[in-house]
Amino acid sequence: MPALPFARLTRRGRIRRLGAIARRALEERGLERASLRFLADDTNILFRAWAGDGAFVVRIGVYGPIAHSLPEAQGETAWLTALRASGLTVPDPVPDLTGRLVTPIALPGVDGERLVVVFRWIPGSLLDERLAPGTLRAYGALAARLHRHAAAFRPPGDPPLPRYDRLFPFDQPEVLFTAGDTPLLPSERRAVFAEAAGRVEEAVGRLRSGEPMRLLHGDLHVWNVLVHRGRLAPIDFEDLMWGWPIQDIGTALYYLHHRPDFPAILEGFRRGYEEVAPWPEAEPGDLDTFIAGRALVLANDVLQMPPADLGDLDVPEFFARAERRLRATLEGGRFQG
């Protein structure tokens, strides 16, 4: 009996087939005897592996319109290699037996060729679970160190990475302002979103006239930073892009901006950042503007995600919350709820 097409498999069935790709990637690194356990399927598929010389994470890229290209993935691993050489604790890609850090693998029963990277395991707790004055200060210093390093680094071959020199940096349809009035986007809400978008575009215009763009992590939120023995380690560099540091900070702090203790969070983060580099907010309010910009990017994403990828997200509430937050920002306040 023919095997079911990959798209028709259950989640467990897809994970089982992708496990075969993970094992192939490990074999191609001389880790044939590694044990393997499913870890997560948030966009990419992650497996944890154990072998004689340690623990590893196997990342299997998605297939389809949102998949990263081979040059993009190679740009990511090139920056990680350079960051490690500078002394920062970041994911360490393990080369395959031919020296490749990114391994394209295609197997029967799985749709398309997948880009696979194997990283050495980094121990630690998520920063989200360890927020305190000391870790917030270290968080800001970490962001500044990444930005300082990126100012002098360009990945070999100048891969075609996203550019945050426009409202939506990712290469995907921009549907937020073209979908017409819908229950999710009535005219009054759309007007709020459009005003926020105008503010983001104005701020981007000012950035263009200043320093050149540099690499950004692109997703440096508190679930992408590990804390271990007092040291912080950023992970998940897959969304790296060209842009300016204040945009990276806006993206990172978007996820904390609604908290009642945000003023203290920002104070600690900024203090740590300024221990390493000057605070990059050229105009007062630019940080809030790019926090709002992250809300618009996420709204654009949600509008075009298949229902199966939305999980338990309450989409109407997401858009209502985004409107409340953007209104508060436009009125000079802070995101609420």
CATH code of the domain containing 184: 3.90.1200.10
Shared domain check, 170 and 77:
no
Shared domain check, 14 and 98:
yes
Of 61-65, 100-104, 127-131, least confident by mean pLDDT is: 61-65
If you average pLDDT over residues 191-206, what whole number do you get? 95
Contacts of 204 (CB under 8 A, 6+ apart): 164, 165, 166, 167
- pLDDT digit string, tens, across residues 220-253: 999 999 999 989 999 999 999 999 999 999 999 9
Which residue range(s) make up the domain with 102? 6-121
Shared domain check, 40 and 96:
yes
Shared domain check, 159 and 208:
yes
User: Is the pLDDT score of 89 beyond 60?
Assistant: yes
Whole-Å CA distances, 290 to 85, 157, 214, 221, 281: 31, 29, 16, 14, 10
User: Is the pLDDT score of 21 beyond 90?
Assistant: yes
DSSP 214-273: EEE-S---TTSEEEETTEEEE---TT-EEE-HHHHHHHHHTTTTTSTTHHHHHHHHHHHH
| Global confidence as pTM | 0.93
Asked if residue 69 is part of any domain, the answer here is yes
Asked if residue 336 is part of any domain, the answer here is no
> How far, in Å, CA of 12 to CA of 282, rounded?
49
Shared domain check, 131 and 117:
no
Shared domain check, 185 and 80:
no
Asked which of 62, 93, 121 is the last residue of a domain, the reply is 121
Number of domains making up the chain: 2
Shared domain check, 200 and 91:
no
CATH code of the domain in which 29 resides: 3.30.200.20
Of 4-18, 177-191, 194-208, 321-335, least confident by mean pLDDT is: 321-335
Shared domain check, 89 and 19:
yes
Asked if residue 241 is part of any domain, the answer here is yes
Asked if residue 180 is part of any domain, the answer here is yes
Shared domain check, 137 and 97:
no
Q: 201, 204, 70, 51: which is closest to 37 by C-alpha?
A: 51
Shared domain check, 310 and 180:
yes
> How far, in Å, CA of 83 to CA of 119, rounded?
14
Asked if residue 238 is part of any domain, the answer here is yes
Shared domain check, 177 and 113:
no
pLDDT band at 192 (very low <50, low <70, confident <90, very high): very high
Shared domain check, 175 and 74:
no
